[in-house]
Structure formats: structure tokens, C-alpha cells
Amino acid sequence: MIKDAIGILDMGMESFNILPILAKKFKHERFVYANDLPNQPYDGKTEPEILELVKANVEKLRRENLKLLVVSSDVIIEHAIDYLRTLSIPVIDLVSTLINYVNVKYEQKNIVLLAKNSILEANLYQKNFKYNHLYCCASDELESIIRNRMTKTTKSFYTAKEILLPAIKKDVDVIITSTPNLTLMKIEMGEYLKGSEITNVGEILAERMTEAEIKFNDKGRGKIQVLTDTNKKTFRTYLYGEKFPYRIKKPVKPEILATDTQP
């Protein structure tokens, strides 16, 4: 029986699709996924409010005997990175992982950054990329299409074309999907930006995880657990994209943890 776990922290369902990729790569690990369906999106909330929500979800995950935490939402990282850096367990965050990947593989290349408008305004990525040309495209409308299960439709192709218009007919090397589920529109993006790599966030995070200073299990049957008070029937109403096996797990009741942060 696998006792330790790798936690995946999301805001909504934006990175749920990375779980089968990670589970395939680390087949002996127990992955515990948590998001904040009752409170997402965080638009309109103050930073202190967001920080309290993040802390509550991190504590739920830590009661699962975490050895590693992967934060797969750039919205969470924007508002809570200082807190996340105080945790006593290793933390891998989506933003720095993508920045490092792009700067190593695509330094001084032509880049499309697909990100929520709030993330573009926060300048999380742009100030750290080393690029030749950077085209920033707000992904909010594309994400809405994905949530409403309208990919591969006339509307999805039209919207993708409108969003990517600044980069169409340009020599683009890579499209950065800062929200992991944007890969569900790779057909639409590929129609207008042919030959460009579309980042697979699950694969990139998996590669980053191999560098973590933790011991990965070499035996035992891995699993994916979803930490939520929502029943499975209701949870399914939020799903889109590829289906894969997972189990709903109720959060463990709060206990006082001996050490919450590093000294």
C-alpha cells in the first residue's frame, strides 16, 4: 500500500487533464488532486482572500502525507507564491517550470503566450522570457469554449483564429499554453499556426518532477484520487476532455500539523 502522495493543486478544473500523463510517467505513485470548485474563479477576490483559500486547500492536501506539491494554476502562483515557498515540502510551480522550459528550448525564438487576461496583466511570464518576438493572446474565450465542451466546432475554430490573429502568418516556434487544458484545442490552434509546438504542460511538469529531491516509489500500484466534498455524480458535471480512472476521496478532518513551514 502506498502511503505517501504527490499533491496537485488547481483552482478550477484547468489542469485536471495532466493527471493521466503524470500517472503514466510515475506509475507507482499516489496522486492526490485538489481544486477549489466552490470559490473559483478567483476574479474579484482580494489577495488576502485568495491566500486564505489557497492555505486551506494546501492543508487538506498535506494531511495526505505529501512528499511533493505541484501547483498547476498560475492564478494561485500569482497570489500565493511567497506562502508556497515557506512550505516544508518541495513545491514545483507551473510558472517557473514553463519559463525555464521555454528559455532553455526556445531562447531568442518567436513565441505565442496563451494566458488568462489577468495573468497577462500581471506580467508573470513576459518579464522572464528570453525571446525574439512575443505575441500575447488572452485565452479566456478559448477556456470558456473548453468548459462548455464546444471544441472542434465552427465556433471554436473561429474563436481560435480571432485570438491568434496577431501571430497568424508569422514564423512562430512555440505556443505556450499557460492553462494546461488549452491543449484540448490543439487542432484549432494547429489549423492557424502550423508547425508550431504546442506545449504539453503535463509532460513538461513530469520532466521537472524527475529533478525533485524526493524518493519516488519503485513498487506498488499507483492511483489518482480527487480530494473533494463533492459527490462523484456532481463532480462529473465539471469534467471535459479525456476520460481516465480516478477515485473521489473525502478530505481528512483538520488536525494540528507539527511543522507547517520551514524555520
- Please give the tally of structural domains in the chain: 2
What stretches of the chain adopt beta strand conformation (E)?
A: 5-9, 30-34, 66-71, 91-93, 109-115, 131-138, 174-177, 197-198, 223-227, 247-249
90 shares its domain with 109: no
Q: What angle do CA 131, 134, 137 make, to 5 degrees?
A: 150
Please write the tens of the pLDDT for every residue from 119-177: 999 999 999 999 999 999 999 999 999 999 999 999 999 999 999 999 999 999 999 99
Q: How many angstroms separate the Cα of 36 from the Cα of each of 41, 83, 98, 210? A: 8, 17, 23, 27
Coil/strand/helix, residue 170 = coil
pTM comes to: 0.92
> Is residue 140 one of the residues assigned to a domain?
yes
196 shares its domain with 213: no
Q: For residue 81, give the nearest of 37, 107, 47, 110 by alpha carbon.
A: 47
Overall average pLDDT of the 16-34 stretch: 97
142 shares its domain with 154: yes
CATH number of the domain enclosing 221: 3.40.50.1860
Q: Are 175 and 10 in contact (CB under 8 A)?
A: no
Give the separation between CA 240 and CA 132, rounded to whole angstroms: 35
pLDDT at 126: 96
What pairing do the DSSP bridges indicate for beta strands 66-71 and 5-9?
A: parallel
Nearest 10 degrees: Cα torsion 54, 60, 63, 66:
-50
Please write the tens of the pLDDT for every residue from 186-227: 999 999 999 899 999 999 999 999 999 899 999 999 999 999
> Is residue 257 one of the residues assigned to a domain?
no
What is the pLDDT confidence band of residue 29, given thresholds at 50, 70 and 90?
very high
Give the separation between CA 20 and CA 16, rounded to whole angstroms: 9
126 shares its domain with 86: no
Domain range enclosing 12: 5-95+204-249
Give the number of other Cβ atoms within 10 Å of residue 221's Cβ.
10
Burial class (CB in 10 A: 0-12, 13-18, 19+), 123: exposed
